[in-house]
Amino acid sequence: MKIHEYQAKELFKRFGIPVPKGGVAESSWEAYDVARPLAVDSFVVKAQIHAGGRGKGGGVKIVHSPDEVSQAVDSMLGIRLVTPQTGPEGKLVMKVLVEEAVAISSEIYLAVILDRSQRKPVLMASRSGGMDIEEVAAKTPEKIVLEALDPMLGISAFNARKVAFGLELGSELVRPFTKIAMNLFRLFSELDCSLVEINPLVLTESGDFVALDAKINFDDNGLYRHANIKALRDFHEEEPLEILASRHNIDYVKLDGEIGCMVNGAGLAMATMDIIKECGSMPANFLDIKGGAKTENVVNAFKILMSDQNVKAVLINIFGGIVKCDMVAQGIDEAMNHVDVSVPVVIRLEGTNAAEGTQMLAQSGYPFIIANGLKDAADKVVALLQKASGGS
Ligand code: GDP
Ligand code: MN
């Protein structure tokens, strides 16, 4: 789960990481009321969307009076902000963050990421803050300092100091930097994050560190332990079909292809997507129906697939282990009474009672296309798709 910058900064404050003074606003008059008591000469207005690169897209504006803050907010709210990270359709701006502007001396990148190959959280830092870190990693990897941390032991001051030395910070900055890095790791660990990033962590002209930007991603599997974090979820920022799926306990990720997939089991769902690609097409989604593939799940999965305009054919791939294929077949058959399925459906059943299930589907009266094995299923669905889109 992602949250907004203004929410991440509240958490930073709670963990002792310095952030600029300011507050969130949903209208130009609210923004004025946030700006005025700050009593400074320069303000920053920042669009709150779940995407970075706002600086490049016009989503970060520096202005010089509360009135100008109001004007900047008026020009930002309600627009679809396009940044290098949003895609061409952009993201709707519904909130802004208004802050005192900071006089920047230098910008540092600081993050805690999860390195899956090492199976460890890693402290990652660079003097090239404010820039696209992927670009820094690709072009000048020597400018990135990495310090792997033991998940059981956590972070020690010497880990953070090593990073400070790697960045060649002045000796007077080592102690404040160490404190921020340790607090950042504490936040990452205590709140079950998958990523915490400050880009940029700035050194101000008066010699203090301030987190100018804040990005936090949470591990969804840990959210049940943090009701107050779960409450920060902003549904406006999420794919509507993914919200619908999560309400029905279906794991679903929308993708760009035309073949809708309905599979039981995450691993099998991944394999199904792979073989569709191998056969020359693209999956429209990842979908794991989980929960024993009951009728209700199948109905909901079909509803999700049919709500995606891109889906031109469906591939159902079920492996009957604990769940029996004849039960699934019954579920698919019944689902047809509840959902208007307007595209060809290829079904592959394997495992417990596969023969019974397949026979039920063949006799159901619906024009299901029964496949024999995963490769056959993928070949058939790709061929149908090509036929539907006017190919040979
Ligand atoms: P992002 O582009 O979405 O990552 O948004 P950031 O919060 O990182 O802001 C982008 C850039 O705007 C920063 O790298 C800074 O260069 C600039 N910026 C943001 N806030 C301030 C500020 O208070 N003072 C100054 N001088 N620049 C700022
Ligand atoms: Mn940033």
> Which pLDDT tens digit goes with each residue over 130-170?
778 888 888 888 899 999 999 999 999 999 999 999 999 99
Write the residue with the smallest CA distance to atom 9 of ligand 1. Answer: 55
Q: Of ligand 1's atoms, which has the minimum distance to the CA of residue 5?
A: 7
Both tokens of 310, joined, read: 């891109």
Q: CA 70 → CA 102, 104, 167, 199, distances in Å? A: 19, 24, 39, 26
pLDDT tens digits, one per residue of 328-337: 899 899 889 9
By CB neighbour count within 10 A (0-12 exposed, 13-18 middle, 19+ buried), where does 201 fall?
buried
Please, what are the domains in the chain? 1-20+103-238 (3.30.470.20), 21-101 (3.30.1490.20), 239-388 (3.40.50.261)
d(CA 177, CA 163): 9
**Ligand 2 center to 373 CA (angstroms):** 48
Q: With bands split at pLDDT 50, 70 and 90, how would you rate the model's confidence at 391?
A: low
d(CA 218, CA 196): 9
Q: Of ligand 1's atoms, which has the minimum distance to the CA of residue 56?
A: 2
pLDDT of residue 130: 78
The answer to whether 180 and 108 have CB atoms below 8 angstroms apart is: no
Radius of gyration of the chain (CA): 26
The answer to whether 278 and 261 have CB atoms below 8 angstroms apart is: no
Select from 9, 12, 213 the residue to mutate for testing ligand 1; criterion: most ligand atoms less than 8 Å from CB. 213
pLDDT tens digits, one per residue of 161-218: 999 999 999 999 999 999 999 999 999 999 999 999 999 999 999 999 999 999 999 9
pLDDT of residue 366: 92
Write the residue with the smallest CA distance to atom 25 of ligand 1. Answer: 102
Q: Does the reported pTM lie above 0.85?
A: no
Q: What average pLDDT does this structure show over 89-111?
A: 96
To the nearest whole number, what is the mean pLDDT of the chain? 94
The answer to whether 145 and 124 have CB atoms below 8 angstroms apart is: yes
Whether 197 is a known active-site residue: answer yes
Both tokens of 311, joined, read: 């889906």
**Ligand 1 center to 239 CA (angstroms):** 27
Q: Is the CB of 58 under 6 A from ligand 1?
A: no
Q: Is the CB of 213 under 6 A from ligand 1?
A: yes
Q: Of ligand 1's atoms, which has the minimum distance to the CA of residue 129?
A: 14
Both tokens of 33, joined, read: 């009321």
Give, to the nearest 10 degrees, the angle between helix 295-307 and helix 240-247.
180
Q: Is the CB of 54 under 6 A from ligand 1?
A: yes
Q: Is the CB of 351 under 6 A from ligand 1?
A: no
pLDDT tens digits, one per residue of 43-68: 999 999 999 999 999 999 999 999 99
Whether 32 is a known active-site residue: answer no
Residue whose tokens read 């769902």: 269
Annotated catalytic residue, options 6, 32, 99, 109: 109
Q: Is the CB of 44 under 6 A from ligand 1?
A: yes
pLDDT of residue 291: 61
Give the ligand with the smallest distance to the CA of 46.
1
261: nearest Cα among 385, 390, 360, 361: 385
**Ligand 2 center to 5 CA (angstroms):** 9
Higher pLDDT, 230 or 129: 230
Mark out the alpha helices in the chain (DSSP H runs): 5-14, 28-35, 54-57, 66-76, 133-139, 157-166, 171-190, 227-230, 240-247, 266-278, 295-307, 325-335, 354-362, 374-388
Q: CA 175 → CA 38, 164, 268, 352, 372, distances in Å? A: 29, 9, 50, 63, 65
Both tokens of 360, joined, read: 């039920």
**Ligand 1 center to 100 CA (angstroms):** 12
Name, in order, each residue with C-beta under 8 angstroms of 289's C-beta and a sequence gap of 6 or more. 250, 262, 263, 264, 297, 298, 301
pLDDT tens digits, one per residue of 228-273: 999 999 988 888 888 889 888 899 999 989 999 999 999 999 999 9
d(CA 98, CA 33): 10
Q: Is the CB of 270 under 6 A from ligand 1?
A: no
Annotated catalytic residue, options 5, 197, 258, 350: 197
Q: Is the CB of 60 under 6 A from ligand 1?
A: yes
- The full length of the chain comes to 392
Q: With bands split at pLDDT 50, 70 and 90, how would you rate the model's confidence at 367?
A: very high
d(CA 339, CA 351): 26
Question: Which helix or strand (DSSP H or E) is residue 217 part of?
Answer: strand 215-218
Give the ligand with the smallest distance to the CA of 107.
1
> What percent of the chain stands above pLDDT 70?
99
d(CA 59, CA 167): 29
**Ligand 1 center to 376 CA (angstroms):** 53
Q: Is the CB of 22 under 6 A from ligand 1?
A: no
